[in-house]
Amino acid sequence: MMASTSGIGLEGHPRGLQKLVEILGPEHFQTEPELQVFEQSRMIIAYTHLETKERCFLEQPSWQTVPWVQHPSKKSARSQLADIFCMLPGILQDIGTLLSDPHHSPSEILLLYQNIDNRLNELVTPVPQHVLVKMLPKACSFEKSLRIRFGAELALALFSPNHSD
């Protein structure tokens, strides 16, 4: 068997997984073992979108609620954090849009900034305090990896205590 050195396979498989999951829809993943498959698949899909800074369909509320409708107790703290992770690519895309074109009108800039600020507030609001305390050490290393991989802008936007001012 030969392995590709181009990296296309590494990109292609998650994109194929994404298409399959998206076609099946969130209703398909309400029972076991489909829910487990979805839990594992969505992190791969979200990471792929994070790499390309493209909004991900998994940020939509139906993808963050419908799979657990029949078994709400299966929505763990890890699942809730995965919901947040699925929102990050869209925030990166919005930040990229804001920073990439210096010719935005003041009203466009304000609208983009408000959208980013609202999204950042959505990230923090649903996380229960006990989850935050438990995940704090991991969040610190996550911030460091975001700084290394995506630059200080995202890390500052996500972790600045004054991001909503």
Q: Which residues contact 31 (CB under 8 A, 6 or more apart)?
A: 70
Could you give the number of structural domains in the chain? 1
Q: Is residue 154 part of a domain?
A: yes
Provide the residue-wise pLDDT of the chain in tens; the chain has 165 residues. 444 455 454 556 788 899 999 999 999 999 999 999 999 999 999 999 999 999 999 999 999 999 999 999 999 888 988 998 999 999 999 888 888 877 878 888 888 888 888 888 877 665 566 665 565 555 555 555 555 555 555 555 555 555 444
Whether 35 is covered by a domain: the verdict is: yes
Does 164 fall in a domain? no
